[in-house]
Chains A and B, each alone.
Chain A
């Protein structure tokens, strides 16, 4: 294995391939080198979509699409009212046809109750993983090309040994650019999304990076709200063997403005950047206090771990 969850040559379907977002980002993915094998738009089955000079078949259903293309991954660019149903259809179809599969949902603005429903639905498919929603996606850079599944700018990535996981889209790009900037590259970068309910969390990614022999160090980017960062720090304390660099966005954000009133209570006063950073530090994570020094802090962490020359 040389990455997590998606290999360089993963076969990928696009749900919503005939829409504006699906076509725009579909073309960018093909251009990057992603093995896009087709797409699904109900009612448009049998037609063809041309993305970056490649003609791709459109199917009516995911079941049909997976059977015809042997796809392992689906990326969803379906508008919010239909996104939950698209995730559920993908999960059932991957389960029925292949027994496993990865679903990456880019869509922003899915009602939270729809996501609760999706989460409980996914419980019945043990080998189906959802990344997102409201996320930039996942990318495994390759020697030539690679697999970009989502909306991230491909050209800032480079194949290497750093695993990156982040709640924030654009901040992930910042971290990626900085790791590339210090001469390192990435095994896989996962944007888990900033929605309160997510298919894949920090710990899922940390576990996978920990197991992946090609990943030698990890960059984890969090933000205020919830307690996912604290839980990730606990996990690292108990299980982590690879150096981790962490950053938490929102140290200067005004309290109470984004977090709901009662949401702050459940977390028992947790959720501030300060607490998250303290949790990171106590777990031995190398903390970047300034997002523009993530690369520098990573360099130091690698040197300290004997993974890089001074």
Chain B
């Protein structure tokens, strides 16, 4: 099964039909953190959308705002973080304007989330069965026995062996890969339309990572669920996602379908990122490096946030903030000079 292969023909993208209906649209999302050192502009005007049944990836280095973007999407940012502006339109409703009571109906039922570290996102004093059943009972109001029965089914569906025996085990009795499966089965308990997976495999070994991604892919195709996958690993993006957004310093600098972005990355940062990874299938003598380090988001560089590290930077780059512009159909780049240089 290779999802990447399907459905990505440059020409048929963008034609509105049932498949291409937009599920969630993030417009100009801005989230700041008010710390004692200053205002951290973690997410600064981020816009993207995810279609129904689409596998969308968000990639970037640590501290670029990927996780905060995801948390803002379901209004889960905690103080000192404040969502300053923007809209998150889910099925036409702006999630950021919903009352707590209403958003709780969406969280866990229609949009659910899995995190990097499954141990710290499971409650150590409840059995995994109770934790999965809790979600089902809360959203669907079924009896406990029935919810537990469904939890067992869910645990089986994500490949937990002896699910019936293990439903009464506590999180610490599971291995890392199994805990992540528990998280996935909990996230899927109410058949969500959107699964947000924040670095779901970063803490796991590669063979286990392959198992978990296989489960997410299967569920995505079987149930037509949309997935927002956050990762720093370009390989995972290439092998799983259909479209991708590249983040740098709180901005999205490029979005395109996966096939196009790997063939023709337009933003200098995307290009640099791709040239910096050692590859299994190629022998490279010297990796390309980026000078400097990721920007301080309390005092970000003026203009384009990437300009101090960019080899093509000109005067304009330090003065004007570039906006996402259309390069080809569904290929957006935020760079003043993306038309001028080639890979």
The answer to whether A and B come from one shared complex is no
Interface of B with A (CB < 8 Å)? none
